[in-house]
Chain A
Amino acid sequence: MTTDLDHAISSAISDLVAAAPEPLDTPSIATITGRPVSRRPRLLLATAASAAIIGGGLAVLAVARRHTSTDLTTATATDNTAAADGRGLDRLLYPAASSGDATAASISAPGGRAAGALISPTGNVYTVNVMENFWGSLPVDLEQRTIGTIDVAVGNQDGTLAYTALNRCTMIGIGNRSPESQPWSAEAFQLLGATTLTQTSASISVPAGWTSLGAGSLGTIYELHFDASSDVQGVVLWQMPGTPVGTLLSQFSPGAAIATTADGATAWLLRGTDGDPYNYLAWDAAGSAAMVGVPHGDEAQFQSVVSSLRAGHAAEWAKVLDSVPGATGADASAQEAESGTTVPGTRTDPSSSCGSRTLTITDTTLELVAADRPGPVHVVQAGETWASIAADEGLTVDLLLEFNGLTTAELALSGETIDTPLDAGTAVRLARVGSVTDTTVPTTP
């Protein structure tokens, strides 16, 4: 029988569906509906690519659309929290490398998953991306194996591999996309061997001879466009306060190339792929990742930026970033706090069934640990029920249900009982959420 509530829900869903935009003509060019700032989606997409899931397949999503200053202004005014917070547009002088005006400062908040990068003894940069509940999205034709208790999938194009934990809550993608890399590379497996992965934590002990470039979650990105004309893509500058450069690099899966050093910082050359509108230079600006993008094909301008960095102008670029209202300091911290940051440099990544996680980094350890740890969990085996698990764990059924936010009355509403078989592979909490305080964050190298 259809009730008033059903009508209301149908109507609400109908409203939402009616707002659906027209699908893009082709999935191979990702224009950004109502938000012409083209950088952010590539970051997100590259994350998956660097995890070796469908590797180069995602590269076709690189945004080819040309945007204008006017578009960006509009987008900033309507879409970004920067505008809402009164920290929107600003005009800034272009640094010494070139000429022109900065036309906009915008803020976007990309995905917050954990990521980092390491350099192998041979100079290859390996990226590490930690994701949750991702295994089911893997293409079925990837080469997959089970090694011990972990499942491993290998990208057949990019020399990358990915693997997952017991209950598939946590997955790590290890990637290296340098042209000379090979699938199942010895270096990738060395990292795999250095990794400890459980349902609530993941860590890589940086092997001897390797160097960590830092790890963390992508936070807020501040994006500045330097574009004097209205219809040509100009130089774009990004800064991610508090985000280590390794996390930024992980979004690109860079090769081994080191472009230049200036002011004591290593600048990484990130050549955009075909269809990508930019080539990039990224470096660590006092603990915050910074990156300059130059339109693809504009070699002269790119070399100009390289020269600027070589000449020691990285600090000047950083000063430009510093001058953006809200780009650094208290405002930035406040915004991060809203999105779940706990302490500077340590970000939590809430998940539904796997508990919240925090990725942290020391000189010797790249580690993902449970911050709001769900406590001990039990991975449901086929045929197990609330009653059987409670009996096995020495708990009362009511207590077990309470740990998992349920009551017998709610079960009954769902047409279930304590003897209804549960979904195999899911995690059942054996303690109250948040009842365990994390103490495993490494504090010394």
Chain B
Amino acid sequence: MALIDSLPDGALERMWREHADALVRLATVLVGPSEANDIATEAFLRAAVAAQHPDVERPRALLLRAVVNRAHDLRRSNERRWRRDLAAVGPAATSSPDSHVDVRRAVSNLSLQQRSVLYFVYWEDLTEAQTAELLGLSPGTVRRHLVRARDHLRKALS
């Protein structure tokens, strides 16, 4: 309890309020909606103390990375259910088969790392270099994930 308790009063809650939306959004893309809050809160509590450290210049990036790490951590047992959750997501109006649904399903079959990269590039509008820095990967690795993810999705569309 000491580490969390060492934070100033209310700091944890303030930080959560500031970043919760982004963390839960990312977690939803990675693991689906039903586990998103679990993953986001677990990751947040793991990284919250570190994120407050004066040496940490970009706490949000650290927290987002913690979400990716937490999803990786729990991948094995939950992957199948996550994919089910992800593939099932979408407006009711898209329940009929169409390519849009196919892409969504294909996204759910990507690796967590590929999904992470897609999220940051396509939703957060980060560059490959920024995504690489955030995820602690080389730009080449991010590029490779992106190429493979797009290739996979292209095939799903064709």
What is the interface of chain A, defined by CB distance below 8 A to chain B? 4-6, 8-24, 26-28, 30-35, 41, 44-45, 48, 53-61, 79, 81, 109-113, 131-134, 136-141, 156-157, 218, 338-340, 349-350, 352, 410-411, 413-416, 420-423
CA distance A17 to B33 in the complex (A): 9
Interchain CB contact under 8 A, B41 and A61: yes
Interchain CB contact under 8 A, B99 and A21: no
CA distance A433 to B26 in the complex (A): 31
Interchain CB contact under 8 A, B2 and A33: no
B118-130 vs A, Cβ < 8 Å mask (1 yes, 0 no): 1100110000000
CA distance A410 to B50 in the complex (A): 37
CA distance A55 to B2 in the complex (A): 8
Interchain CB contact under 8 A, B37 and A14: no
CA distance A209 to B3 in the complex (A): 34
- A111: B residues at CB distance < 8 A: 73-74, 76-78
Interchain CB contact under 8 A, A20 and B70: no
Interchain CB contact under 8 A, B141 and A60: no
Interchain CB contact under 8 A, A27 and B41: yes
Considering the complex, which residues of chain B in the window 101-158 have a beta carbon less than 8 Å from any beta carbon of chain A? 103-104, 106-107, 111, 113, 118-119, 122-123, 136-138, 140-141, 143-144, 147-148, 150-151, 153-154, 157
Interchain CB contact under 8 A, A137 and B66: yes
- Known: A9-B107, A27-B45, A420-B140. Is A19-B12 also a contact (CB below 8 A)? no
Interchain CB contact under 8 A, B4 and A57: yes
B82 to chain A, nearest CB (A): 11
Residue among B24, B34, B141, B157 making CB contact with A23, cutoff 8 Å: B24
- A9: B residues at CB distance < 8 A: 103, 107, 118, 122, 150, 153
Main secondary structure on B side of the interface with A: helix
A48 to chain B, nearest CB (A): 7
Q: Could you list some 18 contacts between A and B, CB below 8 A?
A: A5-B157, A10-B123, A13-B119, A21-B36, A23-B20, A24-B20, A28-B45, A45-B42, A57-B1, A112-B76, A139-B47, A340-B76, A413-B147, A413-B151, A414-B144, A415-B143, A420-B140, A423-B138
| A11, A21, A45, A79: most-surrounded residue (chain B CB, <10 A) | A21
Q: Which 7 A-B pairs have the closest CB atoms?
A: A23-B20, A56-B1, A414-B144, A20-B28, A57-B4, A19-B89, A12-B104
CA distance A81 to B81 in the complex (A): 9
Interchain CB contact under 8 A, A414 and B140: yes
- A423: B residues at CB distance < 8 A: 137-138, 141
CA distance A21 to B89 in the complex (A): 12
Interchain CB contact under 8 A, A8 and B123: no
B30-48 vs A, Cβ < 8 Å mask (1 yes, 0 no): 0011111110111011111
Interchain CB contact under 8 A, A141 and B147: no
Residue among A41, A141, A413, A421 making CB contact with B50, cutoff 8 Å: A141
Interchain CB contact under 8 A, A339 and B77: yes
- A11: B residues at CB distance < 8 A: 100, 103
Interchain CB contact under 8 A, B77 and A110: yes
- A157: B residues at CB distance < 8 A: 1-3
- Known: A21-B36, A141-B53. Is A109-B77 also a contact (CB below 8 A)? yes
- B44: A residues at CB distance < 8 A: 27
A130 to chain B, nearest CB (A): 12
Interchain CB contact under 8 A, B34 and A33: yes
- Known: A5-B153, A16-B29, A60-B4. Is A26-B13 also a contact (CB below 8 A)? yes
Interchain CB contact under 8 A, A17 and B28: yes
Which residue of B has the minimal Cβ distance to A5? B154
B126 to chain A, nearest CB (A): 13
CA distance A355 to B41 in the complex (A): 29
CA distance A263 to B119 in the complex (A): 54
- Known: A8-B157, A9-B107, A141-B53. Is A19-B46 also a contact (CB below 8 A)? no
Which residue of A has the minimal Cβ distance to B20? A23
Which residue of B has the minimal Cβ distance to A423? B138
Interchain CB contact under 8 A, B140 and A416: yes
- Known: A111-B73, A141-B50. Is A20-B25 also a contact (CB below 8 A)? yes
Residue among B23, B32, B42 making CB contact with A44, cutoff 8 Å: B42
B31 to chain A, nearest CB (A): 10
- B16: A residues at CB distance < 8 A: 23, 26-27
List 7 additional contacts besides A32-B37, A79-B34, A113-B73; criterion CB under 8 Å: A5-B153, A17-B25, A24-B20, A28-B13, A113-B76, A138-B50, A352-B113
Interchain CB contact under 8 A, B74 and A15: no
Interchain CB contact under 8 A, B3 and A139: yes
A116 to chain B, nearest CB (A): 17
- B47: A residues at CB distance < 8 A: 137, 139
A271 to chain B, nearest CB (A): 15
CA distance A41 to B100 in the complex (A): 33
CA distance A158 to B69 in the complex (A): 23
Interchain CB contact under 8 A, A136 and B136: yes
Interchain CB contact under 8 A, A12 and B25: no
Whether B61 sits at the interface, judged by CB under 8 Å, is no
Interchain CB contact under 8 A, A61 and B45: yes
Which residue of B has the minimal Cβ distance to A59? B1
Interchain CB contact under 8 A, B33 and A33: yes
